A = this chain, B = another copy of it.
Amino acid sequence: MNQEDIKQIFKSKGIKNTRQRQRVYEYLIACQQPVTADAIYMDLARESAGDETLNLSTVYRILDIFLKQKLIIKSNLTNDNKSTFELNKREHRHHLVCVKCNLVTPITGCPLKGYDQMLSQSTHYEILEHKLEVFGVCPKCQGHS
């Protein structure tokens, strides 16, 4: 996906195209993982050359806009009071999180297919979505106790 493609996505969502928004969106495409606002800011600030400035509050404002247009998803994966953001792939995704190194791996397939519907019948809720995250120790961290 190149800059022109991203521009088109923004256009279709009524989002004005700016250098900062391009960069944040490119970053989210590249990292393929839930990330914090601060991580986006730090990484992009680091790789900035000269006048390519980017402010943390701008990152938050951009993330808000992306959220409102449902380009991204917000969640609180860890318990450290930081929100994480990731691209909203249409496919419904879950993650496996390593509690030692914090590596986040997408899980292929949803084990809850059909469950939402069943739950809707038994509770009379209108089910909108579910969040599932699995926690464990990744192969690399096993043994390095």
A residues at B contact (CB < 8 Å): 74-76, 79, 81, 83, 96, 98-99, 105, 107, 111-112, 115-116, 119-120, 123-139, 142
Contact = CB atoms under 8 A, between A and B. Distances in A.
Nearest to A118: B111
A145 to B, nearest CB: 11
Q: Report how many copies the assembly holds.
A: 2
Contact of A112 (B96, B111, B125): B111
Given A81-B83, A126-B136, 17 more contacts: A74-B79, A75-B79, A76-B79, A96-B119, A96-B123, A98-B125, A99-B128, A111-B111, A111-B115, A112-B112, A112-B132, A125-B137, A127-B134, A128-B136, A129-B136, A131-B132, A131-B133
A125 B111 contact: no
A74 B81 CA distance: 11
A125 B75 CA distance: 22
Contacts of A130: 132-135
Contacts of A120: 136
Contact of A123 (B105, B123, B132): B105
23 contacts: A74-B79, A75-B79, A76-B76, A79-B83, A81-B83, A96-B119, A96-B123, A96-B125, A107-B119, A111-B111, A111-B112, A111-B115, A112-B112, A112-B132, A124-B139, A125-B136, A128-B137, A129-B135, A130-B132, A130-B135, A131-B132, A131-B134, A132-B132
